[in-house]
Amino acid sequence: LLLFVLFRLRNKLHKSNIQLNKLVIEKENLVKEIHHRVKNNLQVISSLLSVQSRYIKDEKALETINESMERVNAISILHQEIYQNEVLRAINAKNYFENLSKGLQQTFDPDKKVDLHLGLDDIMTDVDQLIPLGLIVNELLTNAYKYGITNTAPSIWLTVQQSDNRIRINVRDNGIGFGETIPGTGGTSLGYKLINMFTTKLKGKLIVKNNN
pLDDT value, residue 18: 74
| Mean pLDDT, residues 164-188 | 76
Residue 205 DSSP SS3 = coil
**More confident call, 83 vs 96:** 96
Higher pLDDT, 120 or 126: 120
Q: Shortest CA distance to 151 belongs to which of 180, 181, 179, 173?
A: 173
Q: Would you say 39 and 83 are in contact if contact means Cβ atoms under 8 Å apart?
A: yes
CB-count exposure of residue 89 (10 Å: 0-12, 13-18, 19+): exposed
The answer, yes or no, to whether residue 178 has pLDDT greater than 60, is yes
CA distance 153 to 114: 7
Q: Which of 56-60, 154-158, 186-190 has the lowest mean pLDDT?
A: 186-190
The model's pLDDT over 54-89, given as tens digits with 9 standing for 90+, comes to 878 888 888 888 888 888 888 788 777 776 766 666
State mean pLDDT over 42-54.
78
